[in-house]
Chain A
């Protein structure tokens, strides 16, 4: 864990140094103290509770679908949200930059943007950057400045920091989110992006012109928060690296999940359940190298009464999983859809207190809070089913579909 006053790269904490750059003057910077700006942690004072609707679709063969599909599916679950948050994640949407980490940024103002750009220029090679296209939509207002950056990390930086590219990105995301006022990284993965904001999901989708993107995986979310924060960053999906989470429910084990993650250096400063779920997947899948199936069994573990009846090898495995990952167990009502470079996973809690339906047609896997949201975009599925409590639905992209994850795999191997 980083020492107090240092950021995650061991540089002086810009805030504690009184300036956003550890004392270095930012080019063209203004005093950030002049205008009080809402912060990234604007929602953090109260933990956000509420119900929601969610969906996910993934074509395992890598066929790319219009974002309009996700939008239409979500609009059929209009009543599951209350217009205080909607969002989507798309994968395979940036074929021109298949290997670059794409940061989708929300800025409160130009100062946050300038500060972030200074940071990015210092830590990354910026291949390309541009505004995230949008159009004005009735009902969508007060949008932040939306910008996306396609980034690479120089070999020297990696050698200097002794970090993997993924860890490097994670550290940067935490740095920006925790230290740069008025800037929030909405997503930071490769060949993917999050499109989210305050509004009903169908409005948000239209605003972001989702129909102009094509991707092999889409997830969507409509939010029903029980308080009214009205902050764009608080909408789902919550993303880190290639992971994106849309989530319906409340994690009753939040307190211990968060303290457990802190031990591994994650800062849960947004105080949303979704953030915790995302970090747990990142920890288990990426850092601990567990498979999706096993990670899901850690997060929504089988009951002891069932484990006790298993054959010896399984019993040992699940006993160890629970003994070691008890603090990671997600308890309380939830259904989540995890988008990832390799595909998509949907999971409900161990007694299924939140709805989740699934379907398959050919190579395409669908999940949603309601079957109607699936039938809206796939009227005649080959198969529909209600996944059992704690049983993950997994869609796995065929090899070679996602160049980024195969390349990353090669680099490791």
Chain B
């Protein structure tokens, strides 16, 4: 402990001294400098620095380390909880805004966990996904209301498509990778995600930090992002991806910009972002050329012109008026609306914003899908739902509520070792994920990471196929928006009305 603080450590690091072989590995593995070796080469922990990221636990050859919750008792108060007391002490010490990483850890109602899926019995047979094809292929992009088919040269030859479709993103499974910038995550993470996207037949998203030259071979599986800071945005960058995403907002921090601390801006990040090394990378809260929906329209079409009309996705945070905003975004010309729910992850955000601003993705999907249908423009844009998608079950439910596909971020990092310790903003990630320190970033082998992520996507895809079979359909489009196949358990009537789902026990 360096300075006097009231904030006692959250965890206690226990070392089994008999088991410890004094190899010193924990000292090297820890990104937070928890350990130092004493004169007898015994590792001595500084509990206050521990983030419970389990890096040392995983790599200790003697299985000698365990991390415990600090059992220190606080006088109970439901209203002034120990967490709040600690927050106040911390702010009394520093006078600063509390920062955090990852998605909110507050126990808000998780609507996904109150939705149950249907299955077939007798009157309609379920389909065995091991015997019959189960189709998850999904197209993101603007679709016409109808298509025109001609026959030969009007002389009754074979049928031929006359309507030219806008370019679509073809996904082999209804999952895309959420935007995570190089800078907030390491280049090896980007490499792993690009490889995994290619292997899984889907797309990774650069986030707002530009595209490193190493990723060029994966262009066809990359969506490039253009955010308010315009880091790394140039004509070639826009053309490099299969699609461009304009990031208006992020679910974890709606209404505010981004802040990448100077410590994370090394040479590579600086080149890719086109900013000086070591300076903080600040993305403004709004795009300073978008102050209205007309401005957004201009940017969308400027990008379309610059890219030869590639699909443009617009990422918005789910806020109270999300349905009307999404409708405006679609009318402004977006081909994809990327909805980011308030439980979405972040590399760094003020805790107050992360934990208190926005609305859940489940509700956002439902109201946006319904609004676009009411306005007859649902086919003009695809809906990607993100921000709080934790499992294949969430994906299936999101799709049944009306999403075309889901965006996942945190889960991919977890697949590569992240333990959701929520300290990404420190740049010290022991797992080499949200850090630029070379001794840490080299811990993540991109090929290993790609394999883990691909495995996860494959496993989830199999699980989605299982559900399709159980509900008796063999194509994902037959479940998409089919809220009839969902029932609610333990939701209030208003919520059920808003998401268009009936109470469990109500038949068809």
Interface, chain A (partner B; CB < 8 A): 1, 46-47, 49-51, 226, 249-250, 252-256, 258-260, 262-264, 271, 287-291, 293-294, 301, 303-305, 313-314, 316-317, 320-327, 329, 331-333, 350-351, 353
Contact = CB atoms under 8 A, between A and B. Distances in A.
B133 A255 contact: no
Nearest to B160: A313
26 contacts: A51-B123, A252-B478, A254-B508, A255-B485, A256-B480, A262-B373, A288-B146, A289-B146, A294-B159, A303-B133, A303-B135, A305-B133, A314-B158, A316-B161, A317-B149, A321-B147, A324-B147, A326-B475, A327-B477, A329-B478, A331-B472, A331-B478, A332-B472, A332-B478, A351-B127, A351-B132
A313 B477 contact: no
A290 B149 contact: yes
B382 to A, nearest CB: 10
B508 A327 contact: no
Contacts, number: 128
Given A46-B507, A313-B160, A351 B480 contact: no
B87 interface: no
A1 B165 CA distance: 25
Contacts of B413: none
B334 interface: no
Contacts of B484: 254-255, 258
Nearest to A284: B146
B474 interface: yes
Nearest to B163: A320
Nearest to B404: A326
Interface string B377-389: 0110000000000
B475 A317 contact: no
Nearest to A349: B474
B292 interface: no
A94 to B, nearest CB: 31
B472 A252 contact: yes
B474 A291 contact: no
A393 to B, nearest CB: 18
Nearest to B400: A255
Contacts of B146: 287-290, 324
B289 interface: no
Interface string B131-158: 0110101010001111111010000001
Contacts of A46: 507-508
Interface in B328-386: 373-374, 376, 378-379
Contacts of B483: 255, 259
A329 B508 CA distance: 19
Contacts of A351: 127, 132, 474
B400 to A, nearest CB: 8
Interface string B468-482: 000111110111111
B479 A324 contact: no
A255 B473 contact: no
B120 interface: yes
Nearest to B483: A255
B168 interface: yes
A271 B506 CA distance: 14
Contact of A333 (B124, B151, B161, B374): B124
A141 to B, nearest CB: 27
Contacts of B160: 313, 317
Nearest to A49: B123
Given A291-B159, A333-B124, 8 more contacts: A46-B508, A47-B507, A50-B123, A256-B479, A259-B373, A290-B149, A304-B133, A324-B165
6 closest Cβ contacts across the A-B interface? A255-B484, A326-B477, A255-B482, A47-B508, A331-B478, A253-B478
B133 A331 contact: no
Contacts of B482: 253-256, 259
Q: Is the interface of B mostly helix, strand, loop or mixed?
A: loop
A320 B165 CA distance: 7
A294 B149 contact: yes
A326 B508 CA distance: 22
B155 to A, nearest CB: 14
B123 A326 contact: no
Contacts of B144: 324
Contact of B373 (A263, A313, A324): A263
B358 to A, nearest CB: 26
A350 B477 CA distance: 14
B125 interface: yes
A322 B170 CA distance: 12
A293 B481 CA distance: 26
Interface size class of B (residues with CB under 8 A): 35 or more
Contacts of B124: 49, 249-250, 252, 332-333
A304 B135 contact: yes
Contact of A323 (B151, B165, B374): B165
Interface string B53-76: 000000000000000000000000
A303 B158 CA distance: 20
Contacts of A51: 123
Interface in B96-154: 120, 123-125, 127, 132-133, 135, 137, 139, 143-149, 151
Contact of A326 (B373, B480, B485): B480
Given A293-B159, A323-B168, A326-B475, A333 B149 contact: no
Contacts of B376: 1, 263-264
Contacts of A332: 124, 472-473, 478
A405 B479 CA distance: 36
Contacts of A301: 475
A271 B482 CA distance: 14
A327 B481 contact: yes
Contacts of A1: 374, 376
Contacts of A331: 472-475, 478
Contacts of A304: 133, 135, 137
A255 B481 contact: yes
A366 to B, nearest CB: 26
Contacts of B378: 263
Interface in B14-41: none
A317 B160 CA distance: 6
Contacts of B149: 290-291, 294, 317
Contact of B480 (A50, A314, A327, A353): A327
Contacts of A320: 147, 161, 163, 165
Interface in B170-209: none
A112 B290 CA distance: 57
Contacts of A325: 147
A309 to B, nearest CB: 13
Contacts of A293: 159
Nearest to A225: B123
Nearest to B377: A263
B366 to A, nearest CB: 12
A329 B159 contact: no
A50 B122 CA distance: 9
A353 B508 contact: no
Contacts of A294: 149, 159
Contacts of B135: 303-304
